[in-house]
Structure 1
Amino acid sequence: MTGELEGKVAVITGGASGLGEGLVRRFVAEGARVVVGDIDGDAGARLAAELGERIRFLESDVADVAQVTRLVTTAVEDFGGLHVMVNNAGVSGKMFGKFLDDDLADFHQVMAVNVLAVMAGTRDAARHMSGNGGGSIINLTSIGGIQAGGGVMTYRASKAAVIQFTKSAAIDLAHYEVRVNAIAPGNIRTAIVRKSAVGEDLQRLEEFEAKIREQMRNDRPLKREGTVDDVAEAALYFAGDRSRYVTGTVLPIDGGTTAGKVIVRKPKP
């Protein structure tokens, strides 16, 4: 580790598991102090006990804007400032076999977590950063917000909204030296895929996930499967000084999936 974030303070939402946990661990390893918010109190408490005084954990539901504000306030009050805001918390929503069967019952929850919380986190972090020399805001979107496709329509719509919001906020906040960028992971193994299926037992869930992973591999130019560490490396770049002239960008971490279809080359006769 290089100590690239030494002296910096960060907030990471959804930081108790999955991608968020990977980000927290990498930021702490690089010298940052981190306020972690997550709805899973037990997982967050375990992470805090393991990582010690460099993190503060607050059990938080980011669908409640006031709880997002509390994370930012805690960073400033407990650690003396805020340099990096990572709006990572997200939910997939239910996956139906076809859109005609979608009852849209989870629309407001998905939009509250995936869009409203990102907007609130960006706003609250920028309110502090704008008067304190700027900072970096990193919003987690998805390749599902870049590429059209079937299934989880509300999720795809929410992640597309994050991309447009990120670019717009980057323009608006550049005057204050506040950089706003987005990371679009794809084909990263976390629990979010299996959470999107409806009414399936464990065996069928595993079969469902295996099919999704196979399709992802077939569509991906790079055959190596992406990891949480790959996403953490991108977040580190945006959080540190190496990206001081970078704002309004969306970086896919997807093995080339969004670049285009794989070219199938037939062997020569």
Structure 2
Amino acid sequence: MTDELAGKVAIVTGGASGIGRGIAERFAAEGAGVVIADVRDDLGAELVDKLNSAGHRTTYRHTDVGDQTQVGELVASAVSAFGGLHVMVNNAGISSPLRKGLFAEDFEEFDRVMRVNLLGVMAGTREAARHMADNGGGSIINLGSIGGIQAGGGVSTYRASKAAIIHFSKCAAIELAHYEVRVNCLAPGNIPTPILATSATDEDRERLERFEARIRQQMRDDRPLKREGTAEDVAEAALYLATARSRYVTGTVLPVDGGTVAGKVMVRKSDRASD
């Protein structure tokens, strides 16, 4: 590690597991003071204990990002604990339930998904920017998804929330550039995390393992790079956007997806011959 974030303070929402955990671990290893925000208190406390035992500077705060008051308190707690805020990673998110086609969709989870996924990002961006604007600027990194770039069937509310995050991030980047606050969006794809499990409805629970295996295989088939993506890959991209290496980068959407949204996989002659 190169201590690229030495002296910096970062917040990572949804930081107790999955992609958020990977980002929190990488930022801490690079010297940042990290506030890990989540609703999974057990996982958050375990991660803080692990990182602090290794000599890093982290703290945990229970935060429902869909509650604007809690998001404001989260930012205030980071400033109080570490003396400032330089990087805000709005990562917390949930999936909408998987239904058997749009006709069967009742949008029962619409308000909850939009509150966590979209409002959480909007409030996190606003609260972080208020501090950053008065303190020399900073970097805000919002987590979208290739599901917000590339259309597809299923989990339509989730896809809509991620598409909205991407557009909001671009709008915020324009408005906040005057204050030297950069806003960028990461769009992960094909990264194994626990979020896919939240898309299963109760009646699908017993079939979740088979369903997930089928979806993961389809993702592999659609991905030009054959290496599996990891939370660490997303954390590497987040680190770039968090540091001065990206000081002239704002309003961008960076897919971290093994090339999935770039286009269809080419079938080689050798592949055809083996069929």
TM range (shorter): over 0.9
2:131 matched residue in structure 1: 128
Q: Does 2:156 align with 1:185?
A: no
1:43 matched residue in structure 2: 43
Letter in 2 for 1:90: G
Q: Which runs of 5+ in 1 are unaligned?
A: none
Distance 1:194 1:13 in 2: 19
- Partner deviation per Cα, 1:59-88 (whole Å, 9 max, x = no partner): 111111111111100111111100000000
Distance 1:114 1:203 in 2: 26
1:262 aligned residue (257, 261, 265): 265
1:97 matched residue in structure 2: 100
Deviation at 1:266, TM superposition (A): 3.0
- Partner deviation per Cα, 1:197-248 (whole Å, 9 max, x = no partner): 1134655111000000010011111111100110000000000110000000
Secondary structure of 1:61 counterpart: coil
Secondary structure of 1:58 counterpart: strand
Equivalence map 1:77-96=2 (5 Å): 77-96=80-99
Letter in 1 for 2:42: D
Distance 2:57 2:8 in 1: 11
**Structure 1 moving runs of 4+ over 6 Å:** none
Distance 2:178 2:65 in 1: 27
Q: CA RMSD in A?
A: 1.2
2:120 aligned residue (111, 117, 121): 117
Q: Which runs of 5+ in 2 are unaligned?
A: none
2:240 matched residue in structure 1: 237
TM-score when scaled to structure 1?
0.97
Assess, with a 3 A threshold, how the Cα gap between structure 1 residues 202 and 152 changes in structure 2: closer, same or farther: closer
1:33 matched residue in structure 2: 33
Secondary structure of 1:192 counterpart: helix
Distance 1:199 1:46 in 2: 28
2:4 matched residue in structure 1: 4
Distance 2:206 2:231 in 1: 25
Secondary structure of 2:107 counterpart: coil
Q: Which moved more, 1:45-54 or 1:241-250?
A: 45-54
Distance 2:62 2:198 in 1: 21
